[in-house]
Structure 1
Amino acid sequence: MTSASVNPPYGLVANLNGERHKPALGFFAFIVVAHWAEHIAQAYQVYVLNWPLPEARGVLGLPFPWLVTSEWMHYGYALLMLIGLVLLRRGFTGRSRTWWNISLGIQVWHHFEHFLLLMQVIIGANLLGGPTPRSIIQLLVPRLELHLFYNAIVFVPMVVAMLLHRKPNSQERATMACACAPERVS
């Protein structure tokens, strides 16, 4: 049995990391940046416009306030982010894979924190008997600032990975299955 028959070069994951890697990364990046924009808008509302935190709901949260208070929505995004990082991982090689893995590792923790928040809502009991659901790090850092931080430390290595992926060295280029990097001009 050859390695090609063990890991066939077709299927959803192979397609997303081969010929569809570039558009898949673009779509994923759009979702991540839109989510980032929501957090930045909420921080702007609190720190620049001096809105009380319950009224600072980002852009989508203004017409749809339930979005901000829904742990299901927050957990869903954390899960979507984790799935995206896992599904698109195979397309990265060398240095870009290292940075993508860093982003993935941080997102695993971020996902765990959201899972913990969701479980508190489902069970009806808050961490350490607190008045609201809280994550572990949220015991030390307020939620608004914590989620800005989490999104930044997941986003930055993800962007570094994408930039390195678009400019691979010759070894990395030789192992790439996608066309994300522009052809070299000699």
Structure 2
Amino acid sequence: MGRRHLHHPRPPRTREVRTPMNRLNSQYHRPALLIFLVIVVAHWAEHLVQAFQIWGLGWTTAESRGVLGMPFPWLVTEEWMHYAYALIMLAGFIVLRPGFAGTAKTWWSIALGIQVWHHFEHLLLLIQVQAGTTFFGQAGPVSIAQLIVPRVELHLFYNGIVFLPMVVAMFLHRRPGPTEADQMTCTCAPRELTGAGVR
């Protein structure tokens, strides 16, 4: 009688599911971050141009509509432009967060937390304009913090305190420590620092 060979079924090969979110936070993380940075800088440009129009050119706040608001005034008066920027930034912080690791992720999360509030303030302004009403007994649309700080200065401040931790996060993400490099799934950092690349 010959020797019997027992055949043990092989366990099924597991394959990582590559969802759009996986791809966005792995092989497309770097270009996605660059696109996001361009959007954030464009938002900054709107606020900085508006500030220059007010303090450099002496225009009134109503006349000072930034870059896109000059040819398309309704973008500013109807609150759509700044709300859209705030919403896109919030979405960007959320969807790009899984690609970060360690200290860089902490800084990115700080920027995300601040942007949640910044978005809420813009949402309040949008609701008031679209509903044709005002909150807090004010003559015109205002956000909560705007009850204390004038709008132009307030939103320059908001953009600054969102931008700073975002830039720190991006810098640290490009220069990860050994532990962070092991956790990264993207190619944002130079190969000599990660020794890997996209997994």
TM-score normalised by L of structure 2: 0.86
Does 2:186 match 1:178?
A: yes
Corresponding position of 1:88: 96
CA RMSD of aligned residues (A): 1.7
Written as runs of structure 1 = structure 2, the 5 A alignment for 1:1-186 is: 9-184=17-192
How far apart in 1 are the matches of 2:184 and 2:127? Answer: 40
Q: Give the C-alpha shift of residue 129 in structure 1.
A: 2.2
**Quick check: 2:78–2:129 contact (8 Å CA) kept in 1?**
no
| Per-residue Cα deviation, 1:116-142 (whole angstroms, up to 9, x for no partner) | 112222333211221111000000111
Q: Which whole-Å CA distance do the structure 1 matches of 2:35 and 2:146 have between them?
A: 30
- Aligned-residue sequence identity (percent) comes to 59
Matched letter for residue 47 of structure 1: W
Name the aligned partner's letter for residue 109 of structure 1: W
| 8 Å contact from structure 2 (residues 78, 126) kept in 1 | no
Q: Between Structure 1 and Structure 2, which shows a larger proportion of helix residues?
A: 1
Distance in 2 between residues matched to 1:112 and 1:34, nearest whole Å: 20
Instruction: Mark the CA change 1:79 to 1:40 in structure 2 (over 3 Å): closer, same or farther.
Output: same
Q: In structure 1, what residue type is equivalent to 2:52?
A: Y
Task: Tell me the alpha carbon deviations over residues 67-88 of structure 1, each in whole angstroms, 9 at most, x when there is no partner.
Answer: 2212233222211111000000
Looking at structure 2, the residues matched to 42 and 116 of structure 1 have their Cα atoms a distance apart, in angstroms, of 21
- 3-state DSSP class of the match of 1:122? helix
**Counterpart amino acid of residue 120 in structure 2:** F
Task: State how many pairs are aligned.
Answer: 181
Name the TM-score, length of structure 1 as normaliser: 0.92
Summarize the Cα distance change of 1:49–1:122 in structure 2 as closer, same or farther, 3 Å threshold.
closer
Letter in 1 for 2:73: P
Q: Write the letter of the residue equivalent to 2:118.
A: H
| Bigger relative CO (Cα 8 Å, ≥ 6 apart) | 1
